Amino acid sequence: MANGSLITDELRKLIGVTLETIVFKVEEGAIQRYAQAIGDPNPLYNDPDFASRTKYGRLLAPPGFTGWPVKAGRLSDRLLESLLKAGAPSRLLDGGVEFDFVEPIGAGDVLTATTKIANMTERETRLGKTMFTTLETTFVNQKGNVALKIRSTFILF
């Protein structure tokens, strides 16, 4: 195993497969609490009356908010478990995240998020033999349109 690939056949089989589908409701109060936690006083995220008079017609979510709990760029226990079961190394670092904002997300939206493993690579790093896994989550809104795509990279070693 020491000289073998970290990416087992079982792991390779997971690439491209939808591993998780979750439905999120985007609630007004959750948006406000999120904006307050960032420290962003933008009335689009804080003042429903103001926001309803804008082109958005409703309280807008700050970029990256997709309903509570915010899944954006996080590895759920269930996904991590699938990876571990397939033989992935168990130590984990969050490598970063990439957002593609397609349509505005706001209060009252219902988002269906599907997550798949887009990519797996490995190389030698200062952590030793290291595996990079890229997850891609697509959020589709109640109108059936893609609202957001998130690619997040996790470092397993």
Partner 1 sequence: MVKQVYYEDVEVGTEITPLAKIATTHMLVQWAGASGDFNPLHYDDDFAKAMGVGAPIVHGALKRAWLGHLMTDWIGEQGKLKKLSCQYRGMDYPRKMKTREEPHDGETWWCKGKVTKKYEEGGEHLVECEIWVENGKGEKTTPGSALVALPKRKRK
- Contacts (CB under 8 A) with partner 1, residues 65-94: 68-70, 72-74, 93-94
Find, among 21, 35, 19, the residue nearest to 105 by Cα: 35
Least spacing, CB of residue 60 vs partner 1, in Å: 10
DSSP per position, 88-122: --S-EEEEEEEEEE-S--BTT-EEEEEEEEEEEEE
Cα separation, 111 vs 122, whole angstroms: 33
Q: Which of 38, 84, 110, 146 binds partner 1 (CB under 8 A)?
A: 38
Q: Which two tokens stand for residue 66?
A: 């997709």
- Contacts (CB under 8 A) with partner 1, residues 94-153: 94-101
Distance of CA 112 to the CA centre of its chain: 12
Q: Which is nearer to partner 1, 11 or 148 (CB)?
A: 148
Q: Which is nearer to partner 1, 18 or 36 (CB)?
A: 36
List contacts with partner 1 (CB under 8 A). Answer: 30, 33-34, 36-40, 42, 54, 62-64, 68-70, 72-74, 93-101
